[in-house]
Amino acid sequence: MPRPLRIAQVGSIIFPIPPTRFGGTERAVSYLTESLVAAGHDVTLFACGDAVTSAKLIASRPAALNGTQVGNSLPHFAAHFALVRRHLDDFDIIHFHEEGMHFPCFMDVADKTVTTFHMPLGQPDMRILYDAIPEMPLVSISNRQRLPLPDANWAGTVPHGIPTSLYHFNPEPTGYLAFIGRFSPTKQPHEAIRIALAAGLPIKLAGTLYDQDRPYWDKKVRPHLDNPLVEVGASSDWGSGSHGQL
């Protein structure tokens, strides 16, 4: 049998892994890490000390930054990536889950890395980074995600793997649609509302609203909240009766 791969998963230091509340990227990193361990690989998770994992854990700080009084997160990220760099020879592959802040630290060993982007890539300034350091192998979570950077060094497309045990088929759905995600222009909850109303179905929405997205919320989402078919609440209250998630 081939020996197990020595894999480093470099997670976030913003939210815990897995997240205690919201944090879609952190949840995806946790699922992937635990699945790789279950498959017999030698996996190390670089995260914060409050991470919960069956992999080896190397922490760059005691707890995730979210909820702490930190004036500048850049030194914390720099220390996080420096810690990974010190363990470079311990791994066959280093899997990053950031938007490219680590590129300058690992451009000389690009072939030993892969970076999954979990966010949209439409920000104009991001092309500056990819043009400057084009050798870093990238993974998209959908083919459409690649459209703003079609000529980047794409290694493949790997959708998020979600444990099927989390969702149970309901042959008699209770007749509503569900949206779970950030209330932001990139996630487009207003489009989910439009689809639900066009279909004549109620929709329940749950997510996070950041200050920078409040103008979008006020313009695109808030006007629908008086509609009895539109509900904003906690997803844990909904059970598994939805027709589907948008």
Q: What's the pLDDT score for residue 234?
A: 52
Q: Is the pLDDT of residue 243 over 80?
A: no
Task: List, for residues 2-42, the tens digit of each pLDDT value.
Answer: 789 999 999 989 999 998 877 889 999 999 999 999 999 99
169 pLDDT band (50/70/90 cuts)?
Answer: confident
Q: Which pLDDT score is estimated for 127?
A: 87
- pLDDT of residue 241 exceeding 50, the answer is no
> Over the stretch 33-91, which tens digit does the pLDDT of each residue have?
999 999 999 999 999 999 999 999 999 999 999 867 677 889 999 999 999 999 999 99
The sign of the CA dihedral 162, 45, 71, 136 is negative
* CB contact at 8 A, 157 and 144: no
Percent of the chain with pLDDT over 90: 66
SS3 93: strand
What does the DSSP 8-state code read for residue 204? E
- What are the boundaries of each domain within the chain? 6-157, 167-245
Yes or no: domain 167-245 corresponds to CATH 3.40.50.2000: yes
- What's the CATH architecture for 6-157? 3-Layer(aba) Sandwich (3.40)
| Cα 76 from Cα 156, distance rounded (Å) | 30
Ordered alpha helix ranges (H), the chain = 24-38, 74-86, 103-106, 126-132, 189-199, 214-216
Strand order across the beta sheet in which 6-10 lies: 56-59, 42-47, 6-10, 93-96, 113-116, 138-140, 154-157
Are 6-157 and 167-245 the same fold in CATH? Answer: yes
